[in-house]
């Protein structure tokens, strides 16, 4: 019996089911965990502590032996892996883009309201459209989609709608050139205990080496910033035809929204290089 820890939302359950499918459908049990982020839907994510609020309790279930594996959205993981755990697999990556539901960006009237709980999204959209007004967006996918009736548009991750079969709700996909995604967006990450060799061997069979390299490069940028950085940041890595990693990063602060791009062969080194490139853009200004 394989015990898999996951949040209880429809999306989280679907992601856990996808991992089970990739593993060949072993006999399993879902260990449903309520996280801080799930319990405190009345508080903005950045006020709860940003990254980690949807994963800590799920990770604890593996650490204390209640579960063998933990399935996460990779974008919810802080840059530094918790002591005692290892990311055994990045099994797949869906669409990395954000999406608008309700209206296209160009069609939003001046002063229109956009609902999103992500400071990363707000910072980038505000730089493009300073006239927009932003409100919080929390809850499950159905709750978020329903909010589009009350505002000009809502912003959601395209991968979430894809996994739930709800892409028909998308009004416009926002390309990375417009809205750089969160670190690891669209990817799944499966953790196990670092001393559980059986689980590690099992997960190695579904680990995607391309996703591991690209998400690894993006996560190295988070680590370069300090691991649990709560600033508005984005990153997206792709593999070039010659096998190098092309990493584009974004950081929004009091000086505005800055982007930088670096190339290199090693995921773990690119985060530091990207941060140095961002500092160069600050100096140039």
Q: How far apart are CA 74 and CA 87, in angstroms?
A: 10
* DSSP single-letter state for residue 231: S
Q: How far apart are CA 77 and CA 239, in angstroms?
A: 22
Instruction: Give residues with Cβ within 8 angstroms of 249, minimum separation 6.
Output: 180, 221, 233, 234, 235, 259, 260, 261, 262, 274, 275, 277, 278
Instruction: Give residues with Cβ within 8 angstroms of 8, minimum separation 6.
Output: 32, 33, 34, 38
Catalytic residue flag (residue 268):
no
Contact status, residue 93 vs residue 202, Cβ threshold 8 Å = no
Q: Which two tokens stand for residue 13?
A: 């359950």
First to last CA, the chain: 57
Q: How far apart are CA 82 and CA 209, in angstroms?
A: 22
Catalytic residue among 38, 76, 95, 98: 76
Q: Which two tokens stand for residue 134?
A: 């932003």
Q: How far apart are CA 135 and CA 111, in angstroms?
A: 12
Using the structure block, give the residue that is written with the tokens 């932003």: 134
Q: Which residues are catalytic, by number?
A: 76
């Amino acid at each position: 019996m394989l015990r898999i820890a996951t949040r209880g939302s429809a999306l989280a359950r679907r992601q856990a089911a996808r991992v089970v499918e990739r593993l060949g459908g072993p006999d399993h049990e879902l260990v449903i965990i309520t996280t801080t982020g799930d319990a405190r839907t009345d508080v903005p994510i950045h006020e709860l502590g940003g990254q980690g609020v949807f994963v800590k309790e799920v990770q604890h279930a593996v650490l204390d032996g209640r579960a063998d594996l933990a399935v996460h959205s990779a974008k919810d993981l802080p840059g530094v892996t918790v002591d005692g755990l290892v990311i055994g697999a990045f099994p797949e990556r869906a669409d990395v883009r954000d999406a608008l539901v309700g209206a296209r960006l160009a069609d939003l009237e001046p002063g229109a309201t956009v609902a999103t709980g992500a400071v990363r999204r707000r910072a980038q959209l505000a730089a493009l459209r300073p006239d927009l007004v932003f409100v919080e967006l929390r809850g499950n996918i159905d709750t978020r989609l329903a909010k589009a009736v009350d505002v000009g548009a809502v912003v959601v991750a395209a991968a979430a709608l894809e996994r739930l079969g709800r892409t028909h709700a998308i009004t416009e996909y926002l390309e990375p050139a417009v809205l750089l995604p969160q670190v690891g967006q669209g990817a799944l990450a499966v953790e196990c205990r670092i001393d559980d060799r059986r689980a590690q061997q099992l997960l190695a069979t579904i680990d995607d080496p391309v996703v591991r390299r690209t998400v690894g490069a993006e996560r190295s940028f988070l680590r370069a910033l300090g691991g649990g950085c709560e600033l508005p940041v984005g990153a997206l890595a792709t593999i070039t035809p010659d096998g190098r990693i092309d990493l584009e990063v974004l950081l929004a602060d009091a000086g505005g929204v800055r982007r930088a791009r670096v190339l290199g062969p090693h995921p773990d080194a690119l985060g530091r290089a990207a941060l140095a490139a961002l500092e160069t853009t600050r100096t140039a200004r």
